[in-house]
A and B are shown apart, each in its own frame.
Chain A
């Protein structure tokens, strides 16, 4: 079996279990809903990263600022050489989003725990409710790396270009325009449903196996390559709020090693609410 393009960014649950007390490693649980996950039990020594509070600007719709990232890293006593091993609830989506933001601010050694919280618990590995404490550091981040992120104008500019591919990682029902938001959150949806013209629908979960670990590099190459998502093209991933698409961004950028992959975190919740933006929907195009 061939290796991933960057195997160093993916660690197993066993690796995490062997590094619980490694002073050069910080294990971080990134949760969408900590009260349903971290607060009930987590990997011993893992610190909580609350996706809503810690990874986002809580006023402006944006990812965390450089200053906020530095404060977050300092609070867990990290420095530029610290290994950050991320996992979390909701199938590792938000851990992948955190991975993406940490890369934007230039942290070198970020890793994803393959299979995440779900696999750790499935394997019966130990959990604790104890919250660790760390001696604060004075972390310094780099300026945001714009090459990893796409904004609305970037997406609009590449529609119809053959050297780009847009990957819509939402469910087929969302892609087709049958729904625009989760059934229980109808008021969080978009004014229009459908997808960005030309986008190819490859739901994020097609990249993983039953135990939530990633498929082999051969399977992933086939999955994306068969529909023209190839390294010779630049790729933009999107979903609804940008976290499922960061999971696919991780696959394309680090497991397959595609040179130009960006995550459009504005995603459908921005595009589907934009006045005059082109939309494709089954049986209708505007």
Chain B
């Protein structure tokens, strides 16, 4: 059973009808190279490329990365539709407002 946090949407990550599948960004193995973009910088870039109304699904096994995505989303007014931890991996779905 996954561990859920408070959500902006509350739909448990299921897509609405006509909702395009989320773009998936897997942060596993991030921070391999020096001067790599930080995991959150990768999220920022992926989010910036989203079309309005579309979604970004971030997957990470690292609590530090999930913490950063939540905090940045909160500061940036980004809706976190799903925030769930299953089998050691946190899955956060961000929606770009239309």
Contacts and interface: CB of A to CB of B under 8 A. Distances in A.
Interface of A: 32-33, 36-37, 40-41, 89-91, 93, 117-118, 121-122, 127, 170-171, 174, 181-185, 188, 239-241, 243-244
A37 B62 CA distance: 14
Interface residues of B, number: 19
A243 B33 CA distance: 10
A182 B33 contact: yes
A41 B35 contact: no
B75 A40 contact: yes
Contact of A121 (B31, B64, B72): B64
B37 interface: yes
Contact of B35 (A36, A117, A122, A182): A182
A171 B63 contact: no
Closest 8 CB pairs of A and B: A40-B71, A36-B40, A182-B33, A36-B38, A122-B63, A118-B64, A121-B64, A33-B38
A26 B39 CA distance: 27
B64 A122 contact: yes
A244 B31 CA distance: 11
17 contacts: A33-B40, A36-B68, A40-B40, A40-B68, A40-B75, A89-B64, A90-B31, A121-B64, A121-B67, A127-B67, A171-B33, A181-B33, A182-B36, A182-B37, A184-B36, A185-B36, A188-B35
B98 interface: no
Given A118-B64, A122-B63, A243 B72 contact: no
B72 A244 contact: no
Contacts of A90: 31, 34, 38
Contact of A91 (B31, B40, B67): B31
B11 interface: no
Given A90-B38, A171-B33, 5 more contacts: A40-B40, A40-B71, A40-B75, A91-B31, A127-B67
B34 A243 contact: yes
B89 to A, nearest CB: 14
B32 interface: yes
Interface string B39-63: 1110000000000000000000011
Contacts of A188: 35
A203 B1 CA distance: 36
A241 B38 contact: no
User: Which of B31, B34, B67, B72 has the most chain A CB atoms closer than 10 A to its own CB?
Assistant: B34
B69 to A, nearest CB: 9
B20 to A, nearest CB: 25
Contacts of A185: 35-36
Nearest to A40: B71
B50 to A, nearest CB: 19
Contacts of B35: 32, 181-182, 185, 188, 240-241
A275 B79 CA distance: 51
Contacts of A183: 33
Contacts of B36: 182, 184-185
A117 B63 CA distance: 10
A40 B71 CA distance: 6
